[in-house]
Amino acid sequence: MDILQNLIDIKNEIPEGVRLVAVSKYHPAEVLLEAYNAGQRIFGENKAQEMKAKHEVLPEDIKWHFIGHLQSNKIKYIISYVSMIEAVDTLKLLSEINQYAIKAGRIIPCLLEIHLAKEETKFGFSFQECRDMLKEGEWKKLTNVSISGVMGMASNIDDQNQILNEFSSLKDFFNELKKDFFAESPDFKEISMGMSNDYKLAIQAGSTLVRIGTKIFGERIYK
């Protein structure tokens, strides 16, 4: 697997203003180091203890994005160094991250995960659940989290039009939230959508962060 060439190829396809999150879950630290040495700095992990173990042995300037479903009892493993938590799907989780962040003396950028896909297995707020949560206003009391945008996954299908429509609906929703709730917040600027099989469509729809693993590292070695 030529990780350097893969990164060059992908970065040549990504326009300015879109950042690459290298999804490194299930890959060993030495593979991440290869990508790091090729210039990659943002890595995405979905298991807190695996991310902690890699953080401890890899360069300190890596920006770690937690992209999986985060359980409350795992926040402590990542709070001291995580750069962004991309998949916050309840106010309760946002509040718990805030409590840990206060203890750590940090402000943690978080994305609100929106359920786009037709599959029931995915996590995330519906559009209406997210509107309702923001309207209630409890989130405004959370001093140590910064709501920085939205994240979503399209349906795992071959229909390019449906995938593009789902991504476009998230971009429209981001614009709505920006206007209604975050007009005064320069931090609310990220739309994380698109993976190895659909990132070009996500970019077309307005993504600012693409999460790519297989196209960089090859198939994962599942544990």
Given a cut of 70, whether residue 223 has pLDDT beyond it is no
- The CA distance from 129 to 16, in Å, is 32
- The per-residue pLDDT for range 161-194, each reduced to its tens digit, is 999 999 999 999 999 999 999 999 999 999 999 9
Q: What is the DSSP string of the chain?
A: --HHHHHHHHHHHSPTT-EEEEE-TTS-HHHHHHHHHTT--EEEES-HHHHHHHHHHS-TT-EEEE-S---GGGGGGTTTT-SEEEEE--HHHHHHHHHHHHHHT--EEEEEEE--SS-TT---B-HHHHHHHHHH-GGGG-TTEEEEEEEE---SSS-HHHHHHHHHHHHHHHHHHHHHT-TT-TT--EEE---TTTHHHHHHHT-SEEEE-HHHH-S----
Mean pLDDT over each residue of the chain, to the nearest integer: 95
Q: For the segment 33-45, what is each residue's pLDDT rounded down to a tens digit? A: 999 999 999 999 9
| Topology (CATH level 3) of domain 3-217 | TIM Barrel (3.20.20)
At a CB cut-off of 8 Å and minimum separation 6, what does 7 contact?
20, 22, 35, 38, 39, 40, 216
Average pLDDT over residues 208-215: 97
pLDDT recorded at residue 219: 82
